Amino acid sequence: MADKTILVVGAAGDVGQGIVAAARTCGWRVVAVGRSADKLTRFGDDPGIAAVVGDISTEAGAEAIWAGATSSFGTIDAAIIAVNAPNEIRPLTAWQPNELSALFASNVVSHFIAAQIFIPRLPADGVFLGIGGGTADFIIPKMAPLSVMQAAQRMLYRGLAREQREGVAIRELIIVSMVNGQSKRDRAQPDWVTDIEVGRHVCAIVANPECFPGPVLDLKSREQVGRLDVEPEK
């Protein structure tokens, strides 16, 4: 794979860590972004990783992230947004409107802000990729708000891709599987995709977005890692 520099927002999460690790295996430079400086220390002293503390909840925050990223390695070839706020387990009717609005801001508006700030600054052959979840298509008992947010996030990426006919490739990767990441190692099942496998799939998309036309892509099993197994969406 060609030498690249990627920006990973949410790098300290289970999925984010897998993306960072897979990118470094490819020999790519990584700007690892997280809200906690302590959690970013896990990336150690790797000279190929630059840690940036920040969040994308505001335009100013996203601008600061971009400034920190470019000051570390210069041109950024791809931005991966692996940010999804946790969802409380309770019936939809138990939520208050302000709580639902806050969840929407964390899960959907944050991706929108990242798109507004990062896409115009990426090179014409760059990639902007968001990570979503399979509950966009089904509801887990007492977790309906999460499905609402994931479905909205998917439509956001469809809308961005439709309006971005040329230039930066816009994709969303929906992970339709539990992820065997750091926080779930002790209870992971054999059929769960691992964080590293998710990272390898993300790297394959970033390296050759034309082979993953999307704009919305599913990752359902480890057998699919690195290739497109389903008909892409129009």
Q: Is residue 158 part of a domain?
A: yes
Burial of residue 4 (CB within 10 Å: 0-12, 13-18, 19+) is buried
Instruction: Count Cβ atoms below 10 Å from residue 118 Cβ, excluding itself.
Output: 24
Q: Is residue 101 part of a domain?
A: yes
State yes or no: cis peptide before 215, omega within 30 of 0. yes
Model pTM?
0.94
CATH number of the domain where residue 74 is located: 3.40.50.720
Q: Is residue 153 part of a domain?
A: yes
Coil, strand or helix at 5: strand
Please, what is the Cα angle at 231 between 205 and 234, to 5 degrees? 85
Q: Is residue 232 part of a domain?
A: no
Q: Is residue 230 part of a domain?
A: no
The one-digit pLDDT tens for each residue of the chain (234 residues) are 579 999 999 999 999 999 999 999 999 999 999 999 999 999 988 999 999 999 999 999 999 999 999 999 999 999 999 998 777 899 999 999 999 999 999 999 999 999 999 999 999 999 999 999 989 999 999 999 999 999 999 999 999 999 987 899 999 999 998 887 788 888 988 888 999 999 999 999 999 999 999 899 999 998 999 887 655 555
Contact indicator for 149, 104 with CB cutoff of 8 Å: yes
Number of domains composing the chain? 1
Q: Is residue 233 part of a domain?
A: no
Q: Is residue 99 part of a domain?
A: yes
Range of the domain at 200: 5-224
Backbone torsions φ then ψ of 228, nearest 5 degrees: -95, 115
